[in-house]
Every structure is written in structure tokens, then in C-alpha cells.
Amino acid sequence: MVEKKGLLQWPAKMHDTLAKKNSHKYCRFHKDKGHNTEDCYQLRDEIERLIRQGYLKHLIDRRAKAGDRSKSRSRERHQKDEAGKSIARDNAPTKGIIHTISGGPTNGDSMRARKKYVRESRFKYGEQMMHVEKQENIVFGDEDLSLDMLDQNDPMVIKMDIANYQVHKVLIDDGSSVDIIFSDVLRKMDLGNVKLRPVRTPLVGFGGSEVVPEGVIELPVSLGEEPRRKTCMVQFLVVDSPFAYNVVLGRP
């Protein structure tokens, strides 16, 4: 009935995949192979939309009279949804792609340098032992937890000293392969006529596209309080791009 009245908003064509071509299942809503009509997530969303707009009120009344059968179907649908979480939802539309920050001169800024890095890695692996100074474990306990922090999933943002400037809004991003400082921050630090070392390797995925850094700068970075304060030199890629943070610290 709903189909004949033209109330349905038909979905876009699904992407062609090998699994879809070899599937014997057919969806009347998509008019395509890949999954059964009763398993179509987009059809369920469309039916819920029509219910909210009052088009299927007679079906809702009939379901209310069914009573126990409705509850049984609801339980079965919930169980099927839970089981479906581990299965790829090939009929759900892709909302977007989330990129990480990668690239940069992590393993060398030229093809020759990167090949040299690979050769040295092969020979040095297993031949040298890394001598690391003993450090205390970093542990967060109940005393570090406040009621305001419950049920939060915020990124880790800290402040630290860079070249004797206290810099706030430093994002700890273990998905980034490089350390980044932004041009506006350097201008505010007023470091004088500091020359940037040129770099040719772009950052991939930064802001959804490739970004060529302005250069590389090495600055002293200090973290912690005495007697547990640590200072080391960090090479930052300088990027001229608007961002919500002043500095990005990637994985070591």
C-alpha cells in the first residue's frame, strides 16, 4: 500500500562488490542483490520515518492489540541486531572516511634516505641492545578521578614548555607519525630569525588532504615538575594551517 501511494523514499544504488554479485539474496527496497528485504537497515529506517509522520497508524494500532506477539518480535529483532553488529553492514551507506596524520620525513626525506633507513634497520635489528634509563611507571588511580570526568571520552590535551614558552592545547595523538607545531604558534613565540630546514615529504591525511610543511625546526621541550622534570630536543614539522590545537605530539 505504501509503495503504491508513492510514500517511500527510494535509496541510492548500492556499490558493486564481489560478495553482492555472488549473493542469492534480493532486496525489494534496493531492487538489487546483496541482502534480504527483511534484513534491510535502510528500509527499517524508512518505515520508522513513515510511522513518525503518521502514515502507518493503523499498523501501530494492530500491533498494540497483538500484545505478547509484538514483544516477542521486538526481542527477536533486538537479538538479530546484536548478532548483526559483528557482520559487515554492506547495505548501510558510508558516511565518510576518517584519516590519520601520516607521512612526513619520519624515515627520511628522500627515496635514497628511506632506502638507507630500511637497509640499516635490517642489519641493526638484533645486533644492538637499547640501553634505556630506568623510569617510574605512569599510573592513574582513583585519586586522579573527579566526578566531572566520569563518562568522558575526550582527547588527551596537555600543556608543556617549548623553548621556555608555556604552550597550552597540546594534543597527544598516537595516530600521528610526526610532531607538528603550527606557524601561528612560532610567530607568537618570537624566536628571532630562526631558519627552517626544508622538507619535501608531504603530510597525508592532514585535514583530509596532502599538506606540504613549511619546514622542520628543532626545539627544546620540557615536561613535568622538579625533581621529575625532563627536557629533550624535538623535531617539529611546521605547518601553516588552521587547527584547534597549538601542537600535535605523535607517537615516539
Chain-centroid distance of CA 78 in Å reads 28
**Identity of the residue numbered 106:** T
Which has the minimum average pLDDT: 1-10, 32-41, 231-240, 242-251? 1-10
User: Rounded CA gap, 196 and 193, in Å?
Assistant: 10
Residue 140 has pLDDT above 80, yes or no: no
Write down all domains in the chain, each with its CATH number in brackets.
Answer: 1-96 (no CATH), 99-109+153-252 (2.40.70.10)
Q: What is the pLDDT of residue 63?
A: 59
Which has the minimum average pLDDT: 148-157, 188-197, 207-216, 232-241? 148-157
Residue 51 has pLDDT above 50, yes or no: yes
Q: What is the pLDDT of residue 39?
A: 84
Residue 58 has pLDDT above 60, yes or no: yes
Q: Could you report the per-residue pLDDT of 205-246, keeping only the tens digit for each?
A: 666 677 888 999 999 999 988 888 899 999 999 998 888 889
Radius of gyration (Cα) for the chain, nearest Å? 28
Q: What is the pLDDT of residue 234?
A: 93
Q: What is the pLDDT of residue 4?
A: 60
User: Rounded CA gap, 228 and 12, in Å?
Assistant: 59
Q: Give just the sign of the alpha carbon dihedral 135, 141, 146, 152.
A: positive
Q: Could you report the per-residue pLDDT of 74-108, keeping only the tens digit for each?
A: 666 766 666 555 444 455 554 444 444 545 555 55
Going from the C-alpha of 161 to that of each of 164, 226, 238, the distances in angstroms are 6, 13, 17
CB atoms near residue 223 (< 10 Å): 15
